[in-house]
């Protein structure tokens, strides 16, 4: 497939890391950056993540592919109006929730030009300086409601993701949000809560620094994630997040009660039940 002129709206961790891969894999003839934060725009240009910075309207007029890598609340507001302005460009989003986006443009006359995707990759850092080489390698990308996208748009997006090293899965948008709550969103909530617990109970920062084990660091690292990204995700996926959060709280209560009551066999059983995750994650 021929290279395309690509605009990335949002030049932070996700968009910036994708820009690197698009350069590396020679998928773009020119990369345009769009960012509401002037400092991010300047840094993306300085780091050569993009070839130029334009306004959104200028990018729409210039690009053949428009990739949205912004917080999901901004995406829901932006996408319908963006589709109003395009001709035959391909529009892709990289958001972590999909139901509201899918519903917002379901009846749009240019819905076919939009491909809803969620690359399952990220780190706890943010901004253009956090962009990394090798992002997305051997990770999954979910394409949602693929049947609602035009064949040529879907074909190019699949080509792009395969080229940058991802494997593809297709899923209905509401099903995606349910599964994402269980395998991604709850991990972040747990990490935020654990960090708050430790900061509340352990007042000696040096003790945290000196005693924190690798296990603690891996569990709590997500607590460094950007609230501007995660607050909209939790609120957009509220129903599913609350479902998994309530179940998690019940599991914590079972551990608490078995420890409080000295029930050794019950505590052992809870841990052995948890060990079954080895069958899935090694």
Among 172, 197, 214, the domain-final residue is: 172
User: Residues 212-258: pLDDT tens digits?
Assistant: 666 677 778 888 989 999 999 999 999 999 999 999 999 999 999 99
Within 10 angstroms of residue 102's Cβ, the number of other Cβ atoms is 21
Residues in the chain: 282
Same domain, 42 and 151: yes
Report how far residue 114's alpha carbon sits from residue 117's, in angstroms, rounded to the nearest whole number.
10
Report the mean per-residue pLDDT for the chain. 93
Q: Give the number of domains in the chain.
A: 2
Among 145, 172, 199, the domain-final residue is: 172
Instruction: Classify residue 114 as left (phi > 0), alpha (psi -120 to 50) or beta.
Output: beta
Same domain, 114 and 233: no
Same domain, 159 and 21: yes
Percent of the chain predicted with pLDDT > 90: 83
Same domain, 60 and 167: yes
pLDDT reported for residue 119: 96
Report how far residue 266's alpha carbon sits from residue 248's, in angstroms, rounded to the nearest whole number.
17
**Residue 124's domain is classified under what CATH number?**
3.40.50.720
Q: In angstroms, what CA-CA distances link 29 with 6, 17, 136?
A: 8, 17, 21
User: Taking 70 as the threshold, does the pLDDT of residue 205 lie above it?
Assistant: no
Supply the pTM of this predicted model: 0.88
Same domain, 263 and 168: no
CB 237 within 8 A of CB 184: no
pLDDT reported for residue 213: 62
User: Taking 80 as the threshold, does the pLDDT of residue 67 lie above it?
Assistant: yes
Percent of the chain predicted with pLDDT > 70: 94
**Residue 253's domain is classified under what CATH number?**
1.10.3660.10
Same domain, 269 and 237: yes
**Band of the pLDDT at 18, cuts 50, 70, 90?**
very high
Same domain, 164 and 181: no
Nearest to 155 by CA among 119, 113, 120: 113
Report how far residue 33's alpha carbon sits from residue 18's, in angstroms, rounded to the nearest whole number.
12
**Of the given ranges (17-26, 119-128, 235-244), which has the lowest mean pLDDT?**
119-128
Same domain, 111 and 198: no
Report how far residue 277's alpha carbon sits from residue 205's, in angstroms, rounded to the nearest whole number.
33
Same domain, 155 and 17: yes
pLDDT reported for residue 136: 95
Q: Which helix (H) or strand (E) holds 253?
A: helix 238-260
**Band of the pLDDT at 2, cuts 50, 70, 90?**
confident
pLDDT reported for residue 197: 85
Same domain, 247 and 156: no
Same domain, 56 and 161: yes
Which tokens hold the place of 182?
Answer: 């269980």
Which tokens hold the place of 8?
Answer: 């990335």
Report how far residue 14's alpha carbon sits from residue 26's, in angstroms, rounded to the nearest whole number.
18
User: Taking 80 as the threshold, does the pLDDT of residue 209 lie above it?
Assistant: no
**Band of the pLDDT at 90, cuts 50, 70, 90?**
very high
Same domain, 160 and 223: no
Q: Which domain holds residue 239?
A: 176-279
Among 172, 201, 232, the domain-final residue is: 172
């Amino acid at each position: 497939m021929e290279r395309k002129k690509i605009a990335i709206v949002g030049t932070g961790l996700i968009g910036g890391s994708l820009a690197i891969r698009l350069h590396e894999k020679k998928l773009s003839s020119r990369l345009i950056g769009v960012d509401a934060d002037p400092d991010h725009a300047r840094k993306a240009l300085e780091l050569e993540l993009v070839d130029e910075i334009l306004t959104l309207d200028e990018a729409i007029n210039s690009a053949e592919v428009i990739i949205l890598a912004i917080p999901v609340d901004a995406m829901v507001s932006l996408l319908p109006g963006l589709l109003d302005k395009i001709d035959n460009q391909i529009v892709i989003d990289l958001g972590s929730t999909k139901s509201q986006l899918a519903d917002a443009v379901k009846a749009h006359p240019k819905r076919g030009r939009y491909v809803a995707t969620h690359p399952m990759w990220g780190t706890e850092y943010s901004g253009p300086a956090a962009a990394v080489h090798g992002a997305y390698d051997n990770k999954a990308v979910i394409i949602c409601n693929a049947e609602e996208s035009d064949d040529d748009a879907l074909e190019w997006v699949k080509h792009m993701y395969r080229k940058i090293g991802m494997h593809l899965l297709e899923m209905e948008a509401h099903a995606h949000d349910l599964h994402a709550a269980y395998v991604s969103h709850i991990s972040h909530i747990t990490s935020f809560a654990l960090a708050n617990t430790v900061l509340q109970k352990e007042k000696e920062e040096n003790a945290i620094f000196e005693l924190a084990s690798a296990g603690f660091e891996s569990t709590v690292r997500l607590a460094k994630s950007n609230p501007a990204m995660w607050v909209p995700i939790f609120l957009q996926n509220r129903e599913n997040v609350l479902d998994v959060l309530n179940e998690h709280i019940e599991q914590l209560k079972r551990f608490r009660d078995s420890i409080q009551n000295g029930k050794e066999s019950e505590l052992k059983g809870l841990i052995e039940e948890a060990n079954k995750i080895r069958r899935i994650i090694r």
